[in-house]
Structure 1
Amino acid sequence: MSSLEVSLLRAGYCVHPEIIAMRNGSFQLREFPAMAALIKHPEKGYILFDSGYTRRFFTETARWPFSLYGHITPVYLKKGESITEQLHLQGIEANQVRYILLSHFHADHIGGCRDFHSATFVAHQEAFATVKSLTGMRALRAGFIKALLPEDFESRLVTLKDSQAIKLPELHRPFEYGFDVFEDKTLFLVKLPGHTTGQMGLIIPESSTGGYFFIADACWQKASFRKLIPPHWLARFITADWKEYLQTLHRVHEYAGNHPHIAVVPSHCKETLEDMFNAARG
């Protein structure tokens, strides 16, 4: 059994009509939780995959033009639900988190970054390069709120480039190339483009509770990758590259079929998270 430990955290949620996430869904409003994963590595210590929402989101969206964000995508966060508050209850302080792996730079994934003053951030070079200079309406259109990042973010950022990718073991097909984060075959980042440029997912082949594939926003509901149901066409307005999105969805579908023992986890699937929370509680 692997000595790697993995647990899931929910840091707030937003609401959308279900049909936006899946084109055959209803117009009923659904909760889309903001998921983060806590990983305890036997040598590297505590690692986060994404960081969820914090109260800072509401401060930064109180002013124009980001106030539109809150109207278009209503966000809810209960007291005690930020990642740092949840970690504190587990006896883990923010300064113990050594690495934060960022799938992409939408607000629900970077919202907690400023709470971690000593962590090293890891992201794909394309993901950050695409948003770093955006301001105003262009930033809003990209779902990027720069003020959610710490002022010294770039000095603590390690960017991954395609030229650094390695050929992955056969067992990770259809993903041929990726990044062995610590060069110990415990954590692999793979590109999942389409939703945003440079989005990455995290494959954990083995842990004390099994294997995981955190697919970020490659899709929003597990039925999407299982049954190959894309979002409504309106989602194209918040998608960087629709063709790449569909290709990524097919690759995730293929991976899930090839690896039934791996838990495939979309960041915003309430059903998946609740099933995994219930399983963890035994």
Structure 2
Amino acid sequence: MHRRTPMIVATVAVLTLATVAPATAEKNLVEFGGGVHSSRVYTVVNYDSPSDSAATQVRDLRYGRASDGAFVGDWDGDGIDTLMVRRGREYFVTNDPDPTTGADYVIRYGDADDRTYVGDWDGDGTDTLAVKRGRAWYITNESRPTRGADYVIRYGNHWDAPRVGDWDGDGTDTLAVIREGRFFVTNETDPTRGADYDFRYGNAGEWVEVGDWDGDGTDTVAVVRMGEDEAVLVAQDPGSANLRIDLDLSHMDDSRETWEYVVFTGDWDGDGIDTYGYRLGF
């Protein structure tokens, strides 16, 4: 799944590993924005490569309502991530990278109070929905589901903070959960045992994003740091260092604080590399 100014300056820096706490109210995991101070403007940023990440394009998208919760995914399998917004149990999907009209179609799935997640659960290149109730996940592989879940899995605990990604590069998204500062990852689409492995990353209270930052087909996590002195995304790398990307905030409202924005990720141009975007989110 592609979660996938001046300028963005990319450097490589070693990150001391520490505890990562779940984001408040699961903000910025999959569904983002939609609060009383949210906006219908989504700023997305492209750059050529993670090693030379000066912004090549920064553009504002307008879609849905300010009160909508939003998701990013590849809904039609063309390799480009686009937006979907949620109103209760209805999801308004656009396949247009720069939407100028309403939704291409509307789907209904789950209940209005479900926690909803997005992934390519069967490896067909198209992202679909899953809803979480307690520790049960109700997964559909249909882009336009007309019935209930295709199957149900159980993983983690009710209070875990989940992430979705292709952790082993096999083309299929699976789950990870954050519990007491530790990530527990499974590569099974229908896990019948515990995690395949676990790790720690980042600092307590930081937002965590998932993406394929270098285009190698494997997703890793990144932490987002938005403060007075820095606005960066620090992405996990299998090597000894981590990719640090200073965020291009040129399209932010000068009257708002950086912490009022949520950062999200996606592949906006279909090049196989996930970059980022941001939205006024609270």
Q: Tell whether the structures are fold-level matches, with TM greater than 0.5.
A: no
TM-score, normalized by length of structure 1? 0.29
**Which structure would you say has the larger RCO, counting Cα contacts within 8 Å and 6 or more residues apart?**
2
Structure with the larger strand share: 2
